[in-house]
Amino acid sequence: MKIVVLGAGAWGTAVAMSAAQHPAGHQVTLWARNPAQASAMQTQHENAQYLPGMALPPALQVASGDPVTACHGADLAIVATPMAALRGMLTALQGLSMPVAWLCKGFESPTGAQAAAAGLLAHEVCAQVAPTLRSGVLSGPSFAQEVARNQPTALVAASEHASVREALVAAFHSPSVRVYANEDIVGVEVGGAVKNVLAIATGLCDGLALGLNARAALITRGLAEMTRLGLALGARPDTFMGLSGLGDLVLTGDLSRNRRVGMLLAQGHTLAQAVESLGHVAEGVYCARTVAQRAQALGVDMPITRAVVALLDGRLSPPEAVATLMGRDPATEFADRG
């Protein structure tokens, strides 16, 4: 296969590295928006900015310039931009005939004239700007560093189009990466988006040294929140017991940028300081408020998400955010609430 990965951040680079080492001998190009970054990767044979110390496979090509031109003749295009850049990239790619999939996890945060509108999931953005694309998402519990090292990883390829699911499996299923196909793109995207918000809350608990009991409770109740929102948007309940629900929540650990934000806030850093120290995008910061707004519009109760938003907005201190969650009234475990 000829595969183009559009976006040379940590995750895009890792995915391109994995595909370039596939036993099938894929022809893989990694496209970088910044020509200087592309030139440096070609010269240094590594992505020193986002995956320092990890050598790029010799077969991996690096390009810049027009992304549509980079996709010419490809069998599959992978969009590896942050959520904030997805709309623009899909608009540019709207005339492509090959399958297109994205890697970002989140709800789009409306801006400008659309600021009052509900934030959209990636497939909803695609339906607006590129409705004829055969599209989908590659998601699941995965850290870029581990995929780049060919450590065992399981991902999920979700799309309503069988041809997109099949292309993603053919591109990435390998001895080190197992790819499961799923038709429920709504559930997979909701899982990935809400997980990023819950990871901030997990980091808050870890940063305050609240213990493993609190962490387990947070993850379990977070899964309930995630599922409620997904069902309200039309997802299947079983999706949230899979890779993009429970799997993504379990992964939240030392390599998680969103968890790191929560830990830094717990240690007294401002949000600006926490985000600046990462050097990468933390999608949970970008989409937390949008998740809460979408849930409110649907009448879905998401108390952990609301507490994270209040924390990010500075309306609650870290201890107050925890107190807000622990101070909720008693409830039956499986009642439709948090």
Active site (catalytic) residues: 195
- Residue-level length of the chain: 338
Q: Which two tokens stand for residue 223?
A: 């899964």
